[in-house]
Every structure is written in C-alpha cells, then in structure tokens.
Chain A
Amino acid sequence: MAAIVVSDLRKSYGALEAVRGVSFEVKEGEVFGLLGPNGAGKTTIVEILEGYRQRDSGDVSVLGQDPRTAGRSLRERVGLVLQEAAVPPLLTARELIEMYRGYYPHPRPTGEVLELVGLSEKADERVRRLSGGQQRRLDVALGLVGDPELIFLDEPTTGFDPSARRNAWEVVRNMRTLGKTIVLTTHYMDEAEHLADRICVIAQGRVVAEDTPGNLRARTVGQTQIRFSVPQGVRMEDIPVKADVRDGTAVIATSTATRTVNELTTWALGRGIELPNLEVVRPTLEDVYLELTSDE
C-alpha cells in the first residue's frame, strides 16, 4: 500500500520550471529520502504534498487524498516539520506541546513526546532559552504530537553541529520504529544514507535516481580508484596498468581492484620498488550523488 503517489508532477514559478514531471511512490512505513542540492525542487514538491502550494499539473495522492482539496481531515493524519523551526519564544516546551495536542483528535501524551525528542529535562523552559538544536527538536515534537500516520521532515538537521545531528537521527529512527511513514528532505548524502530505506535523487526539477542506498552504491562498480605516489626513477611507461599521473600521483580506475592491485604489487616487488602512499579508494555515495546532480 502506498502512502504517497506522485505522477508527472509539474510546477513553475513564472518562467522558472521548478518541478518538471516528477513521479515516485512512498510505501507505508518506510523512510523515503528526497535528496538533492539547494534549488533542485525538493521543497516545492514537499510543499505541494503538504497542501501549501498548488501544482500546475500531474496527480498527487497523500494517504489516499488529494492535498489540494483535502483540508482538515488530511491535516489530522499528517505531521509537518518545516524547513525553519517556528516555535513561539514565550511559551514553554510543555505549553507548546499541550497547545498543539488540542488540535488533534488522538494526540500522543505530552511526556512521551518530550521523551521521544529528548527534551524531558527542558520541558518547563521557555522556548527562547532553548538552543537552536533543542528548538528544532521541539519543532519535531510538534510534528509528532498528533500521532500522524505520515510525517514530513524538511531538512531537519541543516545548521546542526555533528552531535546534534546524531541526536536528531536518533529521533527519526525512534519515529520509524513507531511505524510512521517518513518523507525526509535533505541535501546531506550521509543523512539520507543513514536514515532512508529508499532515496530519490532530485536535480533541476527531475528525478535522476530512485533506489535503496545499497543499490545506489552498486552504481559505483567500475569506479574504484587505486592511487600511489610515483617513486623516483619510475617512468609512466614502466607501470604495468593504465594510469593517469597527476602531480606525481598515479591514479588507476578499475572495476577489478583485487586483480589490479595484485598486478601492481607483483611488478613492484619484482623490481624492488616501494609504492609510497598506496591506497584503494571506494567511491562513496557522495560521489554518486555529486555525479547524478551535476549539471548536464
């Protein structure tokens, strides 16, 4: 069963085509990562799904309803965490959660929500005395408080320091274990890789790849690099495999790293040469991502 179905979605702002025929499905209970650089159209797509923006064309179904016309009955089942934390500074964390609880038919208990985002200790602090990361977590708590079936997280960790990011990731994993469907927008590859069951890469308003993190990584076959510094007295022609030499470093691209390393080392041992700084580098998902999202 699909929580979200999007087909051939299009949206322009004046002459700018922000979304150019995007299609994807989000399954119930999965964490779906929408990944792409700034300005790729991610937020426009998410805001159409959330009901903030009207699409120009295409079909969109969110929990079986069209967000363009659904209104309140859909908002009761969906939790939002927008790109910027928006929490009134003069209320306490607990008061704010209590206030939001009143908006939903079946809210989760306040204490549980505070616990889930790790703010139990700060429950009675006024929001303005919380750090940026804590405010963001409170924002996530407001997205959870209505016990939604589906949660949109729009760049939840932008601007976080590394430890705050780890904490936020923990919160997302907690939500996943509650069985929620999560749509996570991010421009951090590692975030999508850690959290998402499937990743949809968006660039210039189009889907350029949609797959599991593992399968995306599999695209890197053939792109493993072997590198070493070329020793004194060794000429390029001497090296037994095809290599590019840049600034004294030999770079060999290969899809059969084991065999190539063996050839290289056999040759080096036979001639009594040490290969300084020898390393085998597997491309990261980051490299795949950068390649996918680079301008054509």
Chain B
Amino acid sequence: MSDATVAARQVRYEQKLFWRNPASAFFAFLFPIIFLVVFATIFKDTNAPVNGVKVKYDDYYIPALVTFGVIGACFTNIAASISIRRDDGILKRLRGTPLPPWAFLAGVIGSSVIVSVLLVVLTVGFGVLVYGVHLPNHFGPLLLSLAVGAMTFCALGLAMTVAIPNAEAAPAIVNGVLLPVVFISGTFFPIDPTSVVTKIAEYFPVKHFINALFTAFDPAHQSATGFVGNDLLIMAAWGVVGIVIAVRRFRWEPRRT
C-alpha cells in the first residue's frame, strides 16, 4: 500500500472516530447555529457598522460564526483529541509502527477540514434559509480564505499540544487561550475598529480570519476582489509559526510524572 493510500485511510479512520462520538460531533455543528439564533434574535432588524458601512447584523454573524466553527473543528478539536490520545499512549504505540508521522497528521488535518467544510455549508445554509442573509459574493476568495484559515488553525492546534501537559488540562488551556482572543476579535459582536481592543486583536489570527471571510461574503459590495491580502498573510504567518513549533516540539509520548 502506498503512503498516499495510507494517509487517505487515516482520514477515514479519523472520520469514524469523530462521528462515533455523537455528542461532540453534534455540538461541533450545533454551537455556531445556537449562537446565530441567539444573536439574530437579540439584534433583530438592527444594523452593524462594519468597515465603515452599515450591514445587517445577520450578515456580520455568518462570517464570524463560520470562523468560530472552523476554529472549533480545527484548533480546539485537534488540540484536545491529540492530547487525550497522547495521554492514553495511543500516539506512542502508533509511533512504534511504520506509519509515517506525516501520514498520521494528514489524517487528523484532513478529517478536521472535512468537518469544517460541512460546518460552513450548514451554517451558511441555515443563515440563508432562516435569516435571509446574503450568499457569498466572491466564491474563489471565500474558498481560499477558508483553506488558509483551516490550515492555520490546524497547525496552531498541533502546536498547542506542546503546551498541554496532560489530557485533563486540555480544555482549560485551549479555552483559556482561545476564548479571550475570540472575544476581542469581535466574533460575538463587532468591536469599534479604533478601540485599543481591536488594535490588540489585530496581532492575532482570529480577527483576520473573520475579516477575510466577511470580505469574501461582501454583503455591501465594497470589495472588487473579495479578499484583503494582509488578512491572509497574517493568518498564514501564524500558521507557519504553528508548523515550526509542531515540527520541533511535538510529543508522541505522555509526559512522565
């Protein structure tokens, strides 16, 4: 069997593992939709100032919550599931087989990307059908932004495992790192672009992911191309940092106590 076939089979096994934990699979998909329903209800018929124009709140939330969902499927899911399997000795055992490490990681990342794609379709579909949000105006840039975002947050998820000492600590550390950044990046409501909070958020990838998707959806037809190179570059830079940390410091064995 060729290595590419082995990698493809790893994606399939990762998918099986994902869907056989129905509770976590269910919430991965439901979470962004719950947020959408809550915010759409609170901010019914109001407008949000984004990038100097006013758009419907719902049109802002779709890109923001898609971002939230993809980060959950990539960053949170990888950081947590790898930490658990490392603690259980499953990674150590795999490392003793001829399975190439890249094929294992390709399986993990490939599976997260499949989940992300389903999640985007479901969230956008729900928004369009129930709240009448605009379909994305620039499909190519949307796919490109999603691809860069998914890869970046998969890489950061792998890098995150380096800082997680054991499986019990995983949720606290992952949420402790992620939620403040998600919050200041305006995932739940747009934040004044001139505020200090936004200045800080601009150093992190979440804000740029939201902005990249918003620009691709482009509900107010402001953008000719559908993407802002800067957003993609800053995200990709974080992705590269994640990859470097993961390649150098990834651990296959539980930490000895």
Contact B9–A102 (Cβ < 8 Å):
yes
Q: How far is the CA of A102 from the CA of B96 in the complex (A)?
A: 14
Interface residue tally on B, bucketed by range: 20 to 34
Q: How far is the CA of A82 from the CA of B92 in the complex (A)?
A: 9
Contact B21–A80 (Cβ < 8 Å):
no
Q: How far is the CA of A80 from the CA of B100 in the complex (A)?
A: 16
Contact A86–B88 (Cβ < 8 Å):
yes
Beta-carbon contacts of B86-118 to A below 8 Å, as 1s and 0s?
A: 001110110111111000000000000000000
Contact A84–B89 (Cβ < 8 Å):
yes
Residue of A nearest to B18 (CB): A90
Residue of A nearest to B21 (CB): A90
Interface residue tally on A, bucketed by range: 20 to 34
Q: Give the contacts of A59-111 with B (CB-CB under 8 A).
A: 72, 75-76, 78, 80, 82, 84-88, 90-91, 95, 99-100, 102-105
The answer to whether A142 has its CB under 8 Å from any CB of chain B is yes
Contact B89–A88 (Cβ < 8 Å):
no
Contact pick for A75, options B9, B17, B96, CB 8 Å: B96
Q: Give the contacts of B192-222 with A (CB-CB under 8 A).
A: none
Q: How far is the CA of A78 from the CA of B1 in the complex (A)?
A: 19
Contact pick for A100, options B88, B92, B97, B100, CB 8 Å: B97
Contact pick for A146, options B9, B13, B16, B97, CB 8 Å: B97
**Contacting residues, chain A, for B99 (C-beta < 8 A):** 103
User: What is the minimal beta-carbon distance from A201 to any residue of chain B, in angstroms?
Assistant: 25
Contact B96–A99 (Cβ < 8 Å):
no
**Contacting residues, chain A, for B5 (C-beta < 8 A):** 102
Q: How far is the CA of A262 from the CA of B30 in the complex (A)?
A: 86
Given contacts A76-B98, A90-B21, A103-B99, contact A52 B90 (CB under 8 A): no
Contact A82–B97 (Cβ < 8 Å):
no
The answer to whether A147 has its CB under 8 Å from any CB of chain B is no
Q: How far is the CA of A99 from the CA of B13 in the complex (A)?
A: 8
Beta-carbon contacts of A165-197 to B below 8 Å, as 1s and 0s?
A: 000000000000000000000000000000000
The answer to whether A50 has its CB under 8 Å from any CB of chain B is yes
Beta-carbon contacts of B14-35 to A below 8 Å, as 1s and 0s?
A: 0011001100000000000000
The answer to whether B85 has its CB under 8 Å from any CB of chain A is yes
Given contacts A86-B88, A99-B9, contact A80 B17 (CB under 8 A): no
Contact B253–A52 (Cβ < 8 Å):
yes
**Contacting residues, chain A, for B92 (C-beta < 8 A):** 52, 82, 86
Given contacts A90-B17, A99-B13, A102-B6, contact A72 B88 (CB under 8 A): no
Contact B93–A91 (Cβ < 8 Å):
no
**Contacting residues, chain B, for A103 (C-beta < 8 A):** 6, 97-99
**Contacting residues, chain A, for B98 (C-beta < 8 A):** 72, 75-76, 103-105, 146
Contact B93–A142 (Cβ < 8 Å):
yes
Given contacts A52-B253, A72-B100, A91-B16, contact A82 B93 (CB under 8 A): yes
**Contacting residues, chain A, for B6 (C-beta < 8 A):** 102-103
Residue of B nearest to A84 (CB): B89
Contact B16–A95 (Cβ < 8 Å):
yes
Contact B1–A102 (Cβ < 8 Å):
yes
Residue of B nearest to A89 (CB): B88
Given contacts A75-B96, A75-B97, A75-B98, contact A91 B13 (CB under 8 A): yes
Q: How far is the CA of A199 from the CA of B92 in the complex (A)?
A: 27
**Contacting residues, chain B, for A100 (C-beta < 8 A):** 97
Contact pick for B20, options A82, A85, A90, CB 8 Å: A90
Q: Give the contacts of A131-162 with B (CB-CB under 8 A).
A: 139, 142, 146
Q: How far is the CA of A95 from the CA of B17 in the complex (A)?
A: 11
Q: How far is the CA of A90 from the CA of B17 in the complex (A)?
A: 6
Q: Give the contacts of B50-105 with A (CB-CB under 8 A).
A: 85, 88-90, 92-93, 95-100
**Contacting residues, chain B, for A95 (C-beta < 8 A):** 13, 16
Contact A82–B17 (Cβ < 8 Å):
no
Q: How far is the CA of A105 from the CA of B3 in the complex (A)?
A: 11
Q: How far is the CA of A205 from the CA of B175 in the complex (A)?
A: 43
**Contacting residues, chain B, for A50 (C-beta < 8 A):** 96
User: What is the minimal beta-carbon distance from B4 to any residue of chain A, in angstroms?
Assistant: 12
| 10 A-B pairs with least C-beta separation | A86-B89, A90-B20, A80-B96, A86-B93, A103-B99, A103-B97, A75-B98, A76-B98, A86-B90, A72-B98
Chain B residues at the A interface, C-beta cutoff of 8 Å:
1, 5-6, 9, 13, 16-17, 20-21, 85, 88-90, 92-93, 95-100, 253
Chain A residues at the B interface, C-beta cutoff of 8 Å:
50-52, 72, 75-76, 78, 80, 82, 84-88, 90-91, 95, 99-100, 102-105, 126, 139, 142, 146
A-B contact pairs, 25 of them (CB 8 A): A51-B96, A52-B253, A72-B98, A75-B97, A76-B98, A82-B96, A86-B89, A86-B90, A86-B92, A87-B90, A88-B85, A88-B90, A90-B17, A90-B21, A91-B16, A91-B17, A91-B20, A95-B13, A99-B9, A100-B97, A102-B5, A103-B99, A104-B98, A139-B93, A146-B97
